[in-house]
Amino acid sequence: MRQHGPAAPVELAPGVRATLVTDYSAALKILQHPDAFTRDSRRWKALQEGEVAPDNPVLGMMAYRPNVLFTDGAEHARLRQAVTDSLARLDAYRVSRHVERVSTYLVDQFARRGSVDLLNEYAKVLTFLVFNELFGCSAEVGDRLISGFTGIFDGIDAEAANQELAESLVQLVAHKRAEPGDDLTSWLMEHPAKLSDEEMVHQVTIMLGAGIEAERNLIANGLLLILSDERYFGGLYSGGLLVEDALNEVLWNSPPIANYATHFPLQDVDLGGVTLPARQPVLISFAAANTDPALSSSRQMLSTRAHLAWGSGPHACPIKDSASLIAVVAIEKLLNQLPDIELAVPADELQWRPGPFHRALSELPARFTAVQTAPAARSAATPDRATAAGIERTAAAAEATGPQGRGRWWSSFLNWWRA
């Protein structure tokens, strides 16, 4: 697309035309100038004039919602402050410890098999369980959130999944109004911004949705790089580079969200010789901007912050530090528990999920030496009857989770942990 200049015309889905920015400097210009580019998709001319069908598949990611992602100016500042102040209360030690517990629990489920799908059985489930903990979900609400988000992300009965997700978030907000706790939902509710119940639902939706999709892809893409590149795992270098280095390389070259940050020019804009029509969507290709040939080839090692994978400007991702911590701990813990793990198929044979926005694997099969005694059991001399029963229940629940059944990951994890 670079032959078109700093941006190129694209069709995101049938009937949805947009402009995709592929140039690093041009991307920064748009991301850092909200005075000329709005995030409010109610300004989208084609949508308002009925040229985009209401059931178009990209509207789930592009249609307006009253949350921090789709607002500008004073309203955005108010919502953003509530989100960032709440996230600032997260304790890194608490987050790290919970990721370690979830990792141990998940490895218990497949350690005896000697094989695992690191995307669907590890990265995806770990992300759900960790975020459920951070937002203070009960067992019932946590299971419904997992079921709803899974249906939306995977396109399985999306209408029913969206309904279940909405109902579960309303239930979560109502529960926290009555019984606040030491969690993100309660902190957001307590903020001086005084968010209404509707505002609470929409802020939690974007925080969970954006966080879960990006986080699981970051973990999976990081594991793929580490297990397929001798610089990181085995071979001549014997794993000489760190997990942090691998994730930095992923954020530069294979960002979890490849194309997004939809903007709408308030008037026609000339972008390096390319006209951006007023009120037509303009998306940033983080993947293309990060690999702009104009950037120095040494950029990745010299800077861990210059990439655009987290965005830039007033809408930059507010949870990037916690997201990075979760990914590092999840990967390190897995590799420590299963030190001989390796890919089960060549990296170039892996399949990627279709879609205009994400860089997401469909699966990541791996193999390792089967562990006869699971990590959680190894941590104690002999598991008591309650612990053994809890592990047995969680294994059964994991097997029941899939396209044909509603997962009980969160309640199963809570049962395991309490036991």
Answer whether 40's CB lies under 8 Å from 72's CB. yes
Query: What does 96-113 look like in DSSP terms, one character per residue?
Result: HHHHHHHHHHHHHHHTTT
Query: What confidence tens digit (pLDDT) does each residue in 80-126 have?
Result: 999 999 999 999 999 999 999 999 999 999 999 999 999 999 999 99
> β-pairing, 7-13 with 16-21?
antiparallel
Angle at 366 between CA 361 and CA 371, to 5 degrees: 140
**The domain made up of 73-253+309-412 is a member of CATH 1.10.630.10:** yes
Q: Looking only at Cα atoms, what is the longest distance across the chain?
A: 71
User: In the chain, what are the domain boundaries?
Assistant: 1-33+35-71+258-307, 73-253+309-412
CA atoms within 13 A of residue 70's CA, in its CB half-sphere: 20
Element (H, E) at 335: helix 320-337
Answer whether 322's CB lies under 8 Å from 330's CB. no
Residues 6+ apart with CB under 8 A from 282: 7, 18, 19, 20, 21, 30, 37, 262, 263, 264, 265, 276
Residues 6+ apart with CB under 8 A from 35: none
Terminal C-alpha separation, the chain: 55
* Residue of 348, 413, 342 whose CA lies nearest to 116: 342
- What does the alpha-carbon distance between residue 11 and residue 209 come to, in Å, rounded to a whole number? 24
Here the tokens at position 89 are: 């209360």
Other Cβ atoms closer than 10 A to 306: 14
pLDDT tens string for the chain (419 positions)? 999 999 999 999 999 999 999 999 999 999 999 999 999 999 999 999 999 998 888 888 898 989 999 999 999 999 999 999 999 999 999 999 999 999 999 999 999 999 999 999 999 999 989 998 999 988 778 778 777 776 666 656 656 777 888 888 999 999 999 999 999 999 999 999 999 999 999 999 889 888 888 999 999 999 999 999 988 865 444 455 789 999 999 999 999 999 999 999 999 999 999 999 999 999 999 999 999 998 876 665 556 678 999 999 999 999 999 999 999 999 999 999 999 999 999 999 999 988 899 999 999 999 999 987 655 544 433 333 433 344 344 444 444 444 344 457 666 766 666 56
Here the tokens at position 365 are: 């099969």
Other Cβ atoms closer than 10 A to 286: 28
Query: What confidence tens digit (pLDDT) does each residue in 36-59 have?
Result: 999 999 999 999 999 999 888 888
The residue assigned the tokens 């009253």 is: 66
For residue 328, CA distances in Å to 117, 218, 220, 312 come to 19, 10, 11, 22
Here the tokens at position 201 are: 């639902």
* Helix, strand or coil, per DSSP, at residue 136: coil
Answer whether 153's CB lies under 8 Å from 125's CB. no
Here the tokens at position 111 are: 């350690």
Cα radius of gyration rounded to whole Å, the chain? 22
- What does the alpha-carbon distance between residue 132 and residue 154 come to, in Å, rounded to a whole number? 19
Does the pTM of the predicted model rise above 0.75?
yes
Topology of domain 1-33+35-71+258-307 in CATH is 3.30.43
Q: Residue 7 forms beta bridges with which residues?
A: 21
- Chain-centre distance of CA 179, in angstroms? 28
For residues 342, 343, 346 and 351, what is the CA-based torsion angle, rounded to 10 degrees?
Answer: -160
